[in-house]
Chains A and B, each alone.
Chain A
Amino acid sequence: MTLTRTEPVAAPSDGPRGERPKRRRSRMTRNQALWCYLFIAPALLGLLLFSLGPMVASFLLSFTSYDLLSAPQWVGLQNYVGLAEDTLFRKSLSITLIYGVVSVPATLLIGLLVAILLNGKIPAMAFFRSAYYLPSVISGVAVAMLWKWLYNGQYGLINTVLGALGIPGPAWLTDEHWALRALIFMSLWGFGGTMLIYLAGLQGVPKELYEAAQVDGASRFRQHLHITVPMLSSVTLFNLIMGIINSLQVFAEPFVLTPNGGPNQSTLLLSVYLYQNAFQYLKMGYASAIAWVSFAIIVVFTLLVFRSTPMWVHNETSEER
């Protein structure tokens, strides 16, 4: 939580408390403050123009009916009432939740396992690291196009492999029972980012801990369970929250892989539903309401995660210092 203590550049002049140095110092401080504001001005402007401003506007818009053509009309809570009664929205909500609840923890788990395997001295380390990260670099439409071909019911690689094993593969993208699973499975391919952050985190775990555990006769598995996992809990927290936010913003993949919400709207993630409302039906107010409901969900999830942190996030600083 603590931000950095920023000492003034003129720290050495702290000594004599005479009148003149003090005044000189305050002028310097004021000068520095001006420079500081100048330096952070772009971020401040960006914050107001592209984050806070639109945020307020979108909140207000969610109480209006607006189609871009005529002026927005205040409709009070009508959009939110509409959402509560909208079965498609409820469906979309549950699809998004399933997607997030399965995809995020699975990605974290795979990322952690691979990071543990990659940590330490092994041959061809750099190659493995790059290879596992590669899919995350491609991402987006290219990945969706590629997987559309992999999932092809007749000629796709996945069903070919399944067929060779004697399992008849489903029509992944056109069967409403399989489309969402296909989407989730595909999302696991991009575990590289999570893995990389875990790998960075692993550099900070003191080796002595493992050595001590080894002396005590703990198995590899137990070492990781009782040292690695707790030591990386703050990294997990970061990855978890980012994963939750990202899963509400997934768009290119469902949009390309299963257009128009997929078979029987079975892959209608919130982002896709929002896109449809805003840019196909031009219901800007309704779309804003969807955005705010999904934002509220993120906030609730994040708060829940933070609330639960004392139970599982190991705070290194409090113990060592």
Chain B
Amino acid sequence: MSTVERPAADRTGDSSPTVGPVPAPPAGAARAGRPQDRPRRRRHRRGRVAAWVRVIILSVGCFTVLMPVVWMVLTSLKTADQVLVMPPVWFFTPQWHNYVDVLTLVPFQRYILNTATIVGLVVLGTLLSCSFCAYGFARLRAPGKKVIFAVLMGTLMLPSTVTLVPTYIVFNNLGWLNTFKPLILPAFFGSAFFIFLFRQFFLGIPRELEEAARIDGASYFRIWWSLFLPLSWPVIATVTVFTFVGAYNDFFGPVIYLSDESKYTIAVALSYFSGSPRIGPQMHLTMAATTIAALPSVIVFLLAQRYFIRGIAVSGINK
């Protein structure tokens, strides 16, 4: 991997005095001192026009990208007849009860509960295990550590299909099919990319903080738990979003491991929707269900996005 080199931030000792979620600045941020003070009126004006051209292009693109989502929501609020009107109607009385119908026609609460259990535990397991391992990789020294880290990063390139069949066979032999265990357990054993993200962030935390804590007699465990973790909000947010979205949208796993309808996650249930006798080809209901299914990851993203974007910048992937 060419991605393990780190940003220059910690070499300069991250002089920022504030304690709190201060991410290491992306390399290059410090170099950019912009000579804006020089009077360059014409260029300034041209720059502003260019900015507006960009905004217009971006708006058109944005409209195109969001159109499918708008269409989904609109369809979900139509009546069964309105869905089939050509050309499509854009103004109509929204049928909010479509959502109620969907939630009652199929055991949606069950699916929500199943999904919440799996996703909640996967996120918890990933955050704990990845930050824990990352502390070891970032701060402690032991023979063989670098090799282990390199191999771990190598598994980023291992497609999940290669490990799929034996893993399935083992879980099958353990009698864990049709339980949530195969979906949850692996999360507690770290995951290469998220360990990488945490490690990158930990490397940017000034050593002095930790040395002070060591002198006060804090164990490494304490340092990880009460010093590093509370400082890591941007990465925690990033990893949470990635893991949440990944686990929530996971389809392959639930499809092969869960067979009982009462065990289905939202994603699996949704995929059987249009064919199910209760919903059938009723597009307004299918789209209502799709909207409900899409909502949680959108909400999580919007809540965490401020940190999330910073967290990615910190990872120094560009180095």
Contact = CB atoms under 8 A, between A and B. Distances in A.
B3 interface: yes
Contact of A235 (B6, B32, B317): B317
Interface in B235-260: 241, 245, 249-252, 255-256
B287 A146 contact: yes
A227 B15 CA distance: 30
B136 A38 contact: yes
A226 to B, nearest CB: 18
A225 interface: no
Contact of A35 (B140, B251, B256): B140
A193 to B, nearest CB: 10
Given A139-B249, A155-B86, A295-B162, 11 more contacts: A36-B145, A42-B129, A42-B188, A43-B152, A43-B189, A57-B169, A68-B169, A131-B62, A145-B273, A160-B88, A200-B315
B142 A145 contact: no
Contacts of B3: 234, 238
Given A38-B136, A50-B167, A140-B251, A145 B271 contact: yes
B13 interface: no
Contacts of B293: 141-142, 145
Interface in B1-47: 2-6, 26-29, 31-32, 34-35
Interface stretch (A99-107, A172-180, A285-293): A285-293
Contacts of A245: 157, 159
Contacts of A183: none
Most buried by B among A41, A42, A249: A42
Return the 4 tightest CB-CB contacts between A and B, nearest first: A39-B136, A46-B189, A140-B249, A36-B140
B51 A122 contact: yes
A232 to B, nearest CB: 7
Contacts of B287: 145-146, 149
B243 to A, nearest CB: 13
Interface in B291-319: 293-294, 297-298, 301-302, 305, 309, 312-313, 315, 317-319
Interface residues of B, number: 115
Contacts of B87: 160, 164
Contacts of B84: 155
A196 B155 CA distance: 23
Interface of A: 1-4, 6, 8-9, 29, 32-47, 49-55, 57-58, 61, 66, 68, 114, 117-118, 120-124, 126, 128-135, 137-142, 144-150, 152, 154-155, 157, 160, 164, 189, 196-197, 199-201, 203-208, 211, 220, 232, 234-235, 237-238, 241, 245, 248-249, 251-252, 255-256, 270-271, 274-275, 278-279, 284, 287-288, 290-292, 294-295, 298-299, 302, 317
Contacts of B166: 53-54, 57-58, 61, 288
B190 interface: yes
Contacts of A298: 157, 159
Interface of B: 2-6, 26-29, 31-32, 34-35, 50-51, 54-55, 57-58, 61-62, 65-69, 71-72, 75, 83-84, 86-88, 129, 132-133, 135-143, 145-146, 148-152, 155, 157-170, 172, 186, 188-191, 195, 203, 207, 210-211, 214, 220, 224, 241, 245, 249-252, 255-256, 267-268, 270-271, 273-274, 283, 286-287, 289-290, 293-294, 297-298, 301-302, 305, 309, 312-313, 315, 317-319
Contacts of A248: 159, 161
A146 B289 CA distance: 10
A166 to B, nearest CB: 14
A52 B167 CA distance: 11
Nearest to A140: B249
A274 B161 contact: yes
17 contacts: A1-B4, A33-B141, A34-B142, A43-B137, A43-B148, A50-B167, A61-B169, A117-B58, A130-B301, A155-B86, A157-B88, A164-B87, A200-B312, A206-B31, A252-B271, A274-B164, A294-B162
